[in-house]
Amino acid sequence: MYKVVEECIKALAQAYNIEEYVKASGEGKWWVSLIGKAASRLAGILNEPRVEFTWSVAYDLHVWGFHEAKYTINDVKGDLNHVQWLLEFTRSVTLHKSK
């Protein structure tokens, strides 16, 4: 789920050519802090706070579910709805933006 959200943020950042995308492109790498900043900026640009919220959920899953192995499937299955929402939102925004 984390990777899906990460890639959605990157795709949206590229579609809007925001500062964080330009910086990541220049450095050849996305740092976690850049993704977080991009999520915040995109939430404002798109007037959609769920973008930033979903990034926060994904980061929490990554740290506590993956690195620390403290979450079970039951602990995280409710977060799937947020991830699915962002994936569909990203598809619709990037398709619309490319036209």
pLDDT, tens digit, 9 for 90 and up, residues 36-60: 999 999 999 999 999 999 999 999 9
CA distance 23 to 13: 11
Helix (H) or strand (E) run with residue 89 in it: helix 80-98
- What CATH number has the domain bearing residue 16? 1.20.120.330
Residue 85, domain extent: 2-98
Which of helix, strand or coil describes residue 43? helix
Give residue 35's pLDDT band: very low, low, confident or very high (50, 70, 90).
very high
φ/ψ (deg, to 5) at 63:
-70, -55
CB 71 within 8 A of CB 55: no
Number of domains composing the chain = 1
Question: pTM of the predicted model, to two decimals?
Answer: 0.91
